[in-house]
Copies of this chain bind each other. A is one copy, B any other.
Amino acid sequence: MNKFTIKDIAKLANVSTATVSYFLNGNYAKMSINTRRKLADIISKTNYLPSTTARNLAKNENKTIGVSVADITNPFTSPVISGISERCEQYGYKMVFTNSNNDERREIENINRLRQEEVAGLIIDPVNPDGDIYNQLSNLYTVIVDRQSKRNLIDTIVTDNTKSVSEMTAKMVQKDYDDLYFISWPLDEVSTRIHRYTGFQQATHYAGDDHLLIVPYNYDLTTDTSFKDEVSQILGQTNKKIGFFTMNSRVLQELLKVTQSLAYNYASDFGVATYEEFEWMQLMRPGISCIRQDSFAIGYSAMEMLKNKIESKLTSEPKAKIKVIPTKEIIRESF
């Protein structure tokens, strides 16, 4: 698709490819002012672009990284990619992108496919960071984002899950709720869910799990009334002031769909707050209190960290670090 190569340019200018190469690399001392002008002219006229792949090959460098995200349709993901891509641009890296669609098998395929390529490093937003495939990855060239592995062998960038939820929940506790509930997709050992739940428990001092409400992933209100029934039962108690903390924006949406179908209104009939912020939460009346996480910074830092590792050319795997990106509390009128 790119017609011109260094040979074509050399031919057009009646010089050798070496001269063209020197020109491309700003090595002007090696040619006359005339050929320099001629080359500048020809290259701009032909729109010739040297192949970076060939360049990397010749220089024995590699400026491409592989990215695997758990689910591109999750609104959390876009800003992460944006951050990675911003840093890639600045560092002169290109990125090969894959999406696992929340499917662990697909994630394994993607990671393997990326490793087959000549890729200098990997940034992974994992479906399951405790899967076997992660044993084959080295901390020399990998950064994980969002979900943490229990093994903790690879550098990971996370947000302030436990602390921020604990602080927000504490604010709810102060409002004298009779019962607070944490609503989540099945915990399934997913670190983000567990850490947020831990924050909730720290603030409420609930001992068991009877204040944990699970909503199925891709919950369909019309065919499965389990979650709706639980919520209905909780809100149906007379003279009890109830509050919910939802584990992310999609769980919040499930809760609101259910409470609307039951004809309860948040803020007046019950209190609510959520992890994650999106603009619509400010448009809803009353506004919804939430925890804003800086997903862009997650991606940005991940690429920063990866580049430093790659270019420091370590020979043995560094000890895994965890970097925590702070969140921000947004208090509105929903509780």
Q: Give the interface of A toward B (CB within 8 A).
A: 1-2, 47, 49-53, 64, 67, 72-73, 75, 77-79, 81-82, 85-86, 89, 94-99, 101, 106, 112-113, 115-121, 136, 138, 140-141, 253, 256-257, 260, 278-280, 282-285
Contacts and interface: CB of A to CB of B under 8 A. Distances in A.
A287 to B, nearest CB: 10
Contacts of A115: 1-2, 49
A51 B98 CA distance: 17
B73 A78 contact: yes
Nearest to A79: B73
A11 B116 CA distance: 20
Contacts of A284: 280, 283-284
Contact of A77 (B78, B119, B120): B78
A30 to B, nearest CB: 23
Copies in the complex: 2
A141 B1 contact: yes
Contact of A99 (B50, B82, B113, B119): B82
30 contacts: A1-B115, A1-B121, A49-B112, A50-B116, A51-B116, A51-B117, A52-B113, A53-B117, A53-B118, A72-B79, A72-B85, A73-B79, A75-B75, A75-B78, A77-B78, A82-B99, A85-B97, A85-B98, A86-B99, A86-B101, A89-B98, A95-B96, A95-B97, A96-B96, A253-B283, A256-B283, A257-B282, A260-B285, A280-B283, A280-B284
B1 A140 contact: yes
Nearest to A95: B97
Contacts of A280: 253, 278, 280, 283-284
